[in-house]
Amino acid sequence: MKDEANSAQPLPPLLDSAIRAVETWWMVAVVWLINLELFWRGGLLRVLEVLLLGGRLTLSLVKWGSVVLMASWMSNRAQQAVKQRISPPMRTTQLNYPPLCVEAAGPGRFVVAGGGGDKAKGLPNRATLIEDDGGQLLVKAFAAFGSDAVEAVAMSNTSNSMLCLAGGSVTELSLSSMTPLSSQKLEINNSTDKSACKRLAVGLQGGLLVVSNGSKIHLYKRRADGKSSFKLSSTLAGAGKAGGEEEEIVDLSLNKASSLLVSTSHKAIRVWDLSSHTCLAQASCDDFMTDMEGNAVELAACRFCDEGQSVCSAINTPTGGLVLLHSLKGKALAVERRVKVTGGRVTSLDVTANFLVVGTDKGDMLQLSCDRLRVLRRASHHVMPVTGLKALAHGDVMSVGFDNLAALVEFSCNSVPLLGDRWKKLAHRGQQIMSAATDWFDMLIELGSRRGRVMGRSLLSSAQNFQVPSVQVTELVEAMKEKVMNSFSRKVETPHL
């Protein structure tokens, strides 16, 4: 018995307060009602009528509030369904090499880079400056990179230059003419394969440069003597080991203040504090994919959200992709939300303040909301896997793919067609039907509660929605009123005390 008492769950605070109030004031309420009935005959009946009226008003408010809420919800869902099925407009330009990455270089300007490397003969390795003139995408200038494909691009901490990572070297390009300002072979400790540098992130504060090399993360800082070269400051063991082998870093992301870094391998996510070079939080695929029943899963991308308060990651499974939203709570990356990507496996990911964009190996792009991971828009402009995405603040997306296509997708364009006159008339008629049905439902409720005394008013208001002549309404009301009153006209004698 003691164990059962201890295991009993406490009542909710509101319910507990209500029970305590009843226990305290029930005798006072009874005495007050008795006095009211003695000193004022019919007072108790009046109180009950007032309570009944208040209950009816409350039910009416709840009913109409539910109708308005349901109508707005259905309208919102209908607009979302229409938007998802209407392909947003886009502007494209065809390149002569497979682009691997893209970065915004200002309003209406983008740098697209990639190439075939030294294995694909005949495909150049370039970084191309593309501008949007409002009607089409124009190639303004490009920079060639010999036999090394450009793996990553990022805006420099200076105002008019772009950093490109190719073959273990960082090249700084002028955005006005795409001419090289400087080129530096990165200093990498304990590495024999310096061409393995594939990921790059640039901090806009303090000239921080972050580069991944295999399972290591190297931090560089711009030299203080004014030169445009970078010096190695520290190295982080970014991925760790899985199955006895070191995991390769597949993606990097800095927060807006350049104080936190999130790194992703195929099996784990880690969040780093760049001031102390310590790991603040980490999570593996096994921590948040326990429902996969042993199927192989791997992480594909990661980005910071909400000014570094949360992390978005993309996971690929044998059946498709998943996008997860993690919260930074303690040393664990707890999964708050997840959504399944129906367009295939995730190949690229990017985030803005309000939107999250995902690219797949089927060439699809999905725009999701950052707060609830709800799919807002969908586009299928590529015929091969999407290799890079750049999400803009107003909702548009610049994408590149293995089909040598660079496309500016205008997700911000509201291309939902307006309703025509015929649809407006149909919608108005639907509102009339809903109003009439609601009135008839009210009439049935009132018939059972008040014996048909207000049925005539309900019939009148319901018939007026369909514009029935008033003569027919009056006859119908009188006939039904007489029939109802005859069936319920039974006098009840009240005994006198």
pLDDT per position as a tens digit, 5-61:
444 567 777 778 888 887 888 777 777 777 666 556 666 667 777 888 888 898 888
- The more confident residue out of 184 and 436 is 184
Please state, in angstroms and rounded to a whole number, the distance separating the CA atoms of residues 363 and 386: 5
How high is the pLDDT of residue 384?
A: 92
Give the pLDDT mean for 78-106.
82
User: What burial letters (b/e) apply to 344-353, b meaning 16+ CB within 10 Å?
Assistant: bbbbbbbbbe
Give the model's confidence band at 440: pLDDT under 50 very low, under 70 low, under 90 confident, else very high. low
Report whether 383 contacts 363 (CB < 8 A): yes
Give the pLDDT mean for 260-288.
85
Beta strands in 214-309 (DSSP E): 216-222, 230-237, 241-242, 245-246, 249-254, 260-265, 268-273, 278-284, 298-305
Give the pLDDT mean for 431-441.
61
Give the pLDDT mean for 140-158.
85
Written as six digits, the tokens of 439 are 């009135």
Residue 333, pLDDT above cutoff 70: yes
Residue 463, pLDDT above cutoff 70: no
Among 334, 337, 333, 384, which Cα is nearest to 359's?
384
In this structure, which amino acid lies at residue 143?
A
Please state, in angstroms and rounded to a whole number, the distance separating the CA atoms of residues 467 and 454: 20
Beta bridge partners, 327, equal 310, 334
Beta bridge partners, 93, equal 406
Give the model's confidence band at 484: pLDDT under 50 very low, under 70 low, under 90 confident, else very high. low
User: Coil, strand or helix: which one is 479?
Assistant: helix
Among 260, 221, 214, 253, which Cα is nearest to 237's?
214
How high is the pLDDT of residue 200?
A: 73
Share of the chain above pLDDT 70, in %: 67
Could you report the per-residue pLDDT of 196-255, keeping only the tens digit for each? 566 777 776 667 888 888 788 888 888 776 555 788 888 887 655 554 456 788 888 888
Beta bridge partners, 12, equal none
Q: How much is the pTM?
A: 0.66
- Residue by residue, DSSP assigns 391-449 as E-TTS-EEEEETTSEEEEE-TTS--PPPP-HHHHHHHHHHHHHHHHHHHHHHHHHHHHH
How high is the pLDDT of residue 134?
A: 77
- How many angstroms separate the most distant Cα atoms in the chain? 110
How high is the pLDDT of residue 486?
A: 59
Integer-rounded Cα radius of gyration of the chain: 34
Report whether 163 contacts 210 (CB < 8 A): no
Q: List the end-to-end C-alpha distance of the chain, in Å, as a whole number.
A: 51
How high is the pLDDT of residue 474?
A: 58
Give the model's confidence band at 102: pLDDT under 50 very low, under 70 low, under 90 confident, else very high. very high
- CA 217, distance to chain mean position in Å, is 30
How high is the pLDDT of residue 20?
A: 83
Tell me whether residue 267 is exposed, middle or buried, using C-beta atoms within 10 angstroms of its C-beta: 0 to 12, 13 to 18, 19 or more: middle
Give the model's confidence band at 285: pLDDT under 50 very low, under 70 low, under 90 confident, else very high. confident
Q: In what order do the strands lie in the sheet with 332-341?
A: 249-254, 260-265, 268-273, 278-284, 332-341, 320-329, 310-317, 298-305
Could you report the per-residue pLDDT of 396-421, keeping only the tens digit for each? 999 999 999 999 998 887 644 444 45
> To the nearest 5 percent, what fractions of the chain are helix, strand and coil?
30, 40, 30
Written as six digits, the tokens of 57 are 């008003």
Give the pLDDT mean for 457-481.
52
How high is the pLDDT of residue 69?
A: 78
Give the pLDDT mean for 115-130.
80
